[in-house]
């Protein structure tokens, strides 16, 4: 057995060994090791001085599986083959090339693309490491986290990858050719793509460590990445409703009053968010206690919100003021770092008075004892009163005026430089793992809203938002590509501050008609993101701040909040596809239409689930400038209906969601965009479940669902249901109902229900609608069903 696993062969003075997982060799004093993790994924390790230093990955949790592969040699080439991929290693220069099983080229390293430069990392002699690749000239690649540059295809750019407020960096990209590359390094990293090469260069690394994976298509690559770094658990149903927030509610009466007002207006709402300062002064920063006297009875506050059938999540940070209990306990074990962070002053006044420094310090989440302390106070001070989830602000964390010496500071895992970019992964993971572990919370799903992320964070029940973006049309447009590229890294849950955080570009704030139009368009986009959340500074954003019923802006906001709720059966079923099938909720067009080159680089359209094509309006249409004295001002102008050009990808036909009109794919069309219409199209062959009108997600059972069939192609859909907010689905407590449309026979087959859970519907009615050009089917339109079917869990065939 050992002779088989450790065969030694000599070729031109180059020897290599076959191992249980791959091969080992040395080329020009560089140790090289290839390890198959499965038939689709191979890990590449390179070490200087002929030595490979093992590390325990912070992102990768998969261990190598027993994988069948062969090794053969042809001249200077060592060729490894698994069922899915072929890897060729040039034994003279160390260059690696990757192909699919049929031998079609996918990716190759630059001939001299690996380099190691000696580096002193806070007194530790190590290396700066670099690996370059050669991509096809017109190859589209995606991912690298979230940036605000508005680019869909991530070519011809340079990124200095250090986590920031509005930029989340993940050293991973995937290609339209169906492969992905994960550079497993956590230090500040430069990614560069130009006409010469595509390169990762990291400041600190004991060696080169990256993974090549082949999925055949975008979903397959994401499946590989999640298999490697962790699967995404289910969120509660209520998290997919509408969320209201602002910077900040200053008392519990104000907070509870917002929920009450929504209920009085009959506008759906599932969540309210309490931002910072409920703890009191900056010296008490993030005490995880209600020390502000305006929050005089936290238990009553939470109960009042719950009694109105809403949920509360609350702001927590990764830093602590010097007068807090967590600070003192963390300081005793040396688990506080010392670099400038927010807030800079003990005073809340702006600008900060640096004569009175806040003394706030970031904690060390790499230290397991520090994560224990963090959770202890979070549990005692906030979970104990029934808070439903966590808003982890500054999870990158805030690092103001960063200086090189700041990165020399020691963490539990070495210098801060060495592990810098994994900070959000560690701090979010600490909260998730602790909450999953305690019996008191075992039945309630963890929900974390966080400002930053790193590879693997999808396994921690977290939804990332895009940070404190500015309120502008350009910022709105940039959110689309930011969210899509983030999702293409395998992390499926993302959102943005609806309306933008800072209103500094609109001095008149909500009185500016252009801002009101921007807010509506952002909210329309937000209705098709994994979380629909209104938030911002400088002015409140509740719906009643924009007028009342009959006002165009108010009515448009109301319309899309209600549309969100009617789509909940589709959204929740899609979330199950994310968990069980490694799918993505926000889908770049290239994911489903990789053969259509015209779809590769579109940065203002996407699919929400696999049926709905969304094209957000990202420019003003209904304002005009009116001169007035020394200044000009904006006024509303609805005298004519404007339009937007939309590209419908080739490979499918499409229906206008609002009118039922059908279109052939592969064409651009002009579609009318009044203020309350976002271009929204449904792929032919789709089966779309529409839920009831409700005031909150769980108000009504789904016993009278409308099932819309969009003919023109065969199609299917799986309706998923469970207990909505427990982990019993992991034990099989859920049901699925599969719908299948045969376009030639004009038959809808509703299959036997599979599974069971306590409280499930034993019987229900499906209102079947076959969409056509004559039938208006917008969510706010009454639709006469073609048939009403009573379903008791047994297979039914419906002829349409």
**Catalytic residue chosen out of the listed positions 33, 206, 329, 393:** 393
Tell me, what DSSP letter sits at residue 629? T
Catalytic-residue membership of 264: no
**Catalytic residue chosen out of the listed positions 97, 100, 468, 661:** 468
Interatomic CA distance for residues 32 and 39, integer angstroms: 19
Whether the ω angle into residue 351 lies within 30 degrees of 0, i.e. cis, is yes
Q: Angle 143-147-148 (CA atoms, 0-180°, nearest 5)?
A: 140
- Which three-class secondary structure state does DSSP give residue 589? helix
Instruction: Report the sign of the C-alpha dihedral through residues 255, 458, 497, 420, in that order.
Output: positive
Q: CA of 542: how far to CAs of 10, 159, 547, in Å?
A: 72, 37, 10
Catalytic-residue membership of 348: no
Interatomic CA distance for residues 78 and 91, integer angstroms: 7
Judged on CB neighbours under 10 Å (0-12, 13-18, 19+), 84 is buried
**Catalytic residue chosen out of the listed positions 209, 275, 304, 396:** 396
With left for phi above 0 and alpha for psi between -120 and 50, is residue 280 left, alpha or beta?
left
Interatomic CA distance for residues 728 and 731, integer angstroms: 5
Pairing of strands 462-465, 448-450: parallel
Question: Among 152, 171, 173, 155, which Cα is nearest to 163's?
Answer: 171
Instruction: Report the sign of the C-alpha dihedral through residues 780, 784, 786, 789, in that order.
Output: positive
Catalytic-residue membership of 393: yes
Task: Give the tokens for residue 20.
Answer: 């249980």
Do 379 and 434 touch, CB atoms closer than 8 A?
yes
41's enclosing H/E stretch is strand 41-47
Interatomic CA distance for residues 105 and 112, integer angstroms: 19
Interatomic CA distance for residues 43 and 229, integer angstroms: 13
53 CB neighbour count, 10 Å cutoff: 15
Q: CA of 740: how far to CAs of 566, 630, 713, in Å?
A: 21, 64, 11
Catalytic residues, which ones? 393, 396, 468
């Amino acid at each position: 057995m050992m002779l088989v696993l450790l065969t030694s062969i000599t070729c031109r003075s180059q020897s290599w060994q076959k191992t249980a997982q791959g091969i080992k060799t040395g080329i020009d004093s560089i140790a090289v090791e290839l390890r198959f993790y499965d038939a689709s994924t191979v890990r590449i390790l390179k070490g200087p001085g002929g030595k490979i230093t093992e590390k325990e990955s912070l992102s990768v949790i998969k261990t190598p599986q027993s994988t069948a592969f062969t090794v053969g040699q042809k001249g200077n080439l060592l060729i490894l083959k698994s069922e899915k991929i072929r890897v060729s290693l040039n034994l003279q220069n160390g260059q690696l090339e990757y192909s699919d099983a049929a031998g079609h080229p996918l990716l190759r390293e630059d001939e001299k693309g690996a380099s190691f430069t000696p580096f002193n990392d806070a007194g530790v002699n190590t290396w700066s490491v670099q690996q370059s690749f050669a991509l096809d000239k017109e190859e589209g690649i995606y991912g690298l986290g979230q940036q605000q540059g508005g680019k869909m295809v991530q070519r011809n750019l340079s990124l200095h990858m250090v986590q920031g407020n509005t930029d989340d960096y993940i050293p991973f990209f995937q290609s339209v050719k169906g492969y992905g590359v994960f550079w497993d390094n956590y230090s500040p990293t430069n990614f560069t793509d130009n006409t010469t090469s595509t390169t990762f260069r990291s400041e600190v690394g004991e060696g080169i460590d990256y993974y090549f994976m082949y999925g055949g298509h975008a979903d397959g690559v994401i499946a590989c990445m999640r298999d490697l770094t962790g699967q995404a658990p289910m969120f509660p149903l209520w998290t997919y409703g509408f969320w209201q927030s602002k910077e900040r509610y200053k008392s519990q009466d104000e907070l509870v009053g917002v929920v009450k007002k929504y209920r009085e207006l009959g506008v759906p709402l599932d969540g309210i968010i309490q931002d910072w300062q409920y703890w009191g002064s900056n010296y008490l920063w993030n005490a995880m206690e209600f020390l502000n006297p305006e929050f005089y009875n936290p238990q009553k506050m939470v109960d009042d919100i719950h009694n109105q059938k809403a949920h509360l999540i609350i702001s927590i940070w990764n830093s602590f003021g010097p007068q807090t209990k967590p600070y003192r306990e963390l300081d005793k074990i040396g688990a506080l770092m010392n670099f400038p962070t927010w807030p800079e002053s003990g005073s809340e006044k702006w600008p900060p008075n640096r004569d009175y420094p806040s003394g706030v310090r970031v904690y060390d989440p790499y230290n397991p004892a520090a994560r224990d302390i963090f959770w202890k106070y979070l549990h005692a001070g906030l979970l104990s009163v029934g808070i439903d989830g966590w808003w982890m602000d500054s999870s990158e964390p805030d690092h103001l005026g960063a200086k090189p010496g700041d990165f020399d500071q020691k963490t539990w895992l070495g210098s801060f430089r060495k592990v810098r970019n994994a900070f959000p992964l560690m701090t979010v993971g600490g909260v998730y793992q602790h909450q999953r572990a305690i019996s008191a919370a075992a039945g309630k799903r963890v929900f974390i809203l966080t400002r930053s992320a790193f590879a693997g964070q999808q396994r921690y029940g977290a939804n990332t938002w895009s940070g404190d973006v500015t309120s502008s049309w350009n910022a709105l447009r940039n959110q689309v590509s930011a969210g899509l590229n983030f999702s293409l890294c395998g992390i499926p849950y993302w959102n943005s501050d609806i309306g933008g955080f800072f209103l500094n570009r609109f001095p008149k704030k909500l009185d500016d008609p252009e801002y009101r139009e921007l807010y509506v368009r952002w909210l329309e986009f937000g209705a098709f993101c994994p979380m629909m959340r209104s938030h911002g500074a400088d002015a409140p954003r509740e719906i009643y701040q924009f007028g009342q019923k009959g006002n165009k802006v108010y009515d448009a906001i109301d319309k899309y909040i209600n549309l969100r709720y009617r789509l909940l059966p589709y959204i929740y079923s899609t979330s199950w596809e994310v968990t069980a099938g490694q799918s993505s909720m926000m889908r770049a067009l290239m994911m489903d239409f990789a053969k259509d080159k015209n779809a590769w680089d579109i940065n203002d359209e996407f699919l929400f689930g696999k049926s709905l094509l969304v094209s957000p309006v990202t420019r003003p249409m209904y304002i005009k400038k009116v001169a007035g004295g020394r200044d000009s001002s904006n006024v509303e102008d609805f005298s004519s209906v404007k339009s937007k050009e939309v590209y419908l990808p080739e490979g499918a036909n499409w229906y206008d969601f609002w009118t039922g009109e059908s279109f052939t794919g592969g064409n651009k069309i002009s579609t009318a965009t009044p203020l309350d219409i976002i271009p929204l199209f449904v792929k032919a062959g789709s089966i779309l479940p529409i839920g009831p009108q409700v005031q909150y997600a769980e108000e009504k059972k789904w016993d009278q669902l409308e099932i819309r069939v969009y003919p023109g192609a065969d199609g299917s859909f799986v309706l998923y249901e469970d207990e909505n907010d427990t982990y019993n689905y992991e034990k099989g407590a859920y049901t699925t109902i599969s719908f299948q449309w045969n376009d030639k026979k004009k038959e809808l087959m509703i299959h036997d229900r599979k599974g069971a859970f306590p409280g499930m519907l034993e019987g229900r009615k499906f209102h079947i609608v076959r969409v056509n050009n004559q039938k208006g089917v917008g969510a706010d339109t009454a639709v006469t069903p073609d048939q009403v079917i009573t379903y008791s869990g047994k297979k039914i065939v419906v002829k349409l």
